[in-house]
Amino acid sequence: MATEAPAVARDLVLRTEARRQASSAALDSSLRAKLGQFFTPAPAADFIASLAELAEADTLRILDPGAGAGSLTASLVARLLVERPGVKINVTACEVDPQLYPTLQTTLDDCVETAKSLNAHVEVNLVRADFISWATEGDGLLAGPPEPFDLVIMNPPYKKLAASSRERKLVSSVCTETSNLYSAFMALGVHLLRPGGQLVAITPRSFANGPYFRLFRQYFLDRMHLDRVHVFEARNKVFADTAVLQENVIFAATRVATAERGPVVVSTSRSYSDEVQQRSVAYAEMVNPDDREFFIHISADEEDGQLAASHANLPATLPDLGLQVSTGRVVDFRSKEHLRPDHVDGAVPLIYPLHMRDGAIVWPVPGAKKNNAIMLNGETEKLTFPSGYYVVVKRLSSKEEKRRVIAAVFDPEQVPCERIGFENHVNVFHVDGAGLPVEVARGLCIWLNSTLLDRFIRRFNGHTQVNATDLRNMRYPSIEQLAAVGSSLQSGTWLGQEEIDELISQHIK
């Protein structure tokens, strides 16, 4: 019978994949988008299941929240039937979408029958409910929250959670504040693990940095040890039969009670079927113990590691430079009555991303969809900055743009004004609310637009948003280096990418 196990287990995975494909084709795509559903293809499910450490126990209690068609459960059960044939497997699968109940129940029954054919034992429990409600409130009025699990395996749904949403409040009541459905599932997965239990998941990479996930990262890192992290070089290979281009990461982490942190295995491949390259990195290289933002720095290979070391060796932080960076103070929908499409007496420039062009601010832009000015009065003065040189950075870059960071200099010689408003979709570098020295401003702008800086920020930023927090947590060249770079740029001129990178290589080692 043991010689039959691999083939029998593989057939279980193949049958589940056929059901997944049929469900994916049949379900309403708009409803899937509303629920944040992205089903796990068999190659992905097999890879994720392969990262689980199979504990030496008589029974394994497994949780698959947001189970979909049951692909992760099937791949994990198939592995267990081959590698741990004597273990008793107890699977709980949660799913909120009633359309998937017949498919998921069939997959779970298939797991049971496949195990019986190999003289193994699998018990299953399909929870037909919202995972967040079930995990926080239990199943019914008399039932408390579920017992801890040995292993949680998940491909959680991806969807923003409104601050006032019931789901967000429930998660916050039992573990932590978080802003997305996928991180809510992760937090509850941690909450439901026994000490020594493991969480294995595929999720967007965006939780690793940025202010919106700070409290979640703190909760997660206080309780979990990252054992393995895998990243993909090609985003479109992860969910090959969907339109998902999200930067994803697969990780395995263990619930621990100690502050000790051992090395982390970091691996990379182009897709699931390609050769996997891996290396071991010190935990402090991935999570700086002194970082109050709890950023998770994922260096995929040796070159990435060298890049991380180069970034760490830059001489200055923003406080060292005497600079600050803030999100633009003008939130246009809150200031509608003060905004003007064109400059009028009593108004000052209002800078949006659309005003940024070739390292400079081009203002006004006649006929633009956004406003060009904001009235200066007692209500709006606190939203503006005095005239001076500022460095402006887009908060959002499109996937088509070559660089993650797009920066420009606000030059008061080009845009004469008394004060300036910066809209909320840009970040602004300033000195205690006032302008920068001109050469420092120009040098900082060139640095932010360099290929080297782009590589630095892509190393830990898994999304297209660049927050002020991201910029605060970076290291920078010295003030002297920035001024030296800036002195090479004259007012009203800009450089090509090769010229920018050459300037950086000359002045910044």
DSSP class per residue in 487-504: TT--TT----HHHHHHHH
Question: How many CB atoms are located within 10 Å of the residue 78 CB?
Answer: 26
Calpha distance 88→104 (Å, rounded): 21
Q: Is 109 helix (H, G, I), strand (E, B) or coil?
A: helix
| Residue-level pLDDT at 243 | 47
Residue 324 contacts residue 432 (beta carbons within 8 Å): yes
| Residue-level pLDDT at 237 | 54
Residue 4: is it exposed, middle or buried by C-beta count within 10 angstroms (0-12/13-18/19+)? exposed
Q: Which residues pair with 255 in a beta bridge?
A: 224
Residue 40 contacts residue 202 (beta carbons within 8 Å): yes
How far is residue 211 from each of residues 146, 206, 269, 289, measured CA to CA in Å? 31, 10, 29, 17
Dig out the tokens for 207 from the structure.
Answer: 């939780």
Cis peptide leading into residue 364 (ω within 30°): yes
Q: How many CA atoms lie within 13 A of 207 on its CB side?
A: 29
The answer to whether the Cα torsion of 95, 98, 100, 102 is positive or negative is positive
Nearest to 428 by CA among 447, 451, 445: 445
Residue 364 contacts residue 400 (beta carbons within 8 Å): no
Lateral strand order in the sheet of 339-340? 339-340, 373-375, 347-351, 419-422, 384-386
Calpha distance 421→417 (Å, rounded): 11
| Residue-level pLDDT at 143 | 60
In degrees, rounded to 5, the angle at the alpha carbon of residue 251 between the alpha carbons of residues 249 and 255 is: 145
Would you write out the chain's pLDDT as a tens digit for each of its 509 residues?
456 889 999 999 999 999 998 887 776 666 555 555 677 889 999 999 999 988 788 999 999 999 999 999 999 999 999 999 889 999 999 999 999 999 999 999 999 999 999 999 999 999 999 999 999 987 654 566 688 999 999 999 988 899 999 999 999 999 999 999 999 999 999 999 999 999 999 998 889 887 889 999 999 999 999 999 998 765 455 554 444 446 789 999 999 977 778 999 988 887 777 778 888 888 988 888 888 888 888 866 656 666 667 777 889 999 999 999 999 999 999 999 999 999 999 999 999 999 999 999 999 999 999 999 999 999 999 999 999 999 999 998 765 567 889 999 999 999 999 999 999 999 999 999 999 999 999 999 999 999 989 888 876 665 667 888 889 988 999 999 999 999 988 777 888 999 999 999 888 87
Nearest to 285 by CA among 459, 450, 471, 469: 459
Q: Which residue has the tokens 């979408």?
A: 97
What are phi and psi for residue 281, nearest 5 degrees? -125, 150
- Non-local (6+) Cβ contacts of 441 within 8 A are 389, 390, 391, 409, 429, 435, 486
Residue 499 contacts residue 336 (beta carbons within 8 Å): no
> Can you give the pTM of this predicted structure?
0.73
Residue 429 contacts residue 177 (beta carbons within 8 Å): no
What are phi and psi for residue 160, nearest 5 degrees? -65, 145
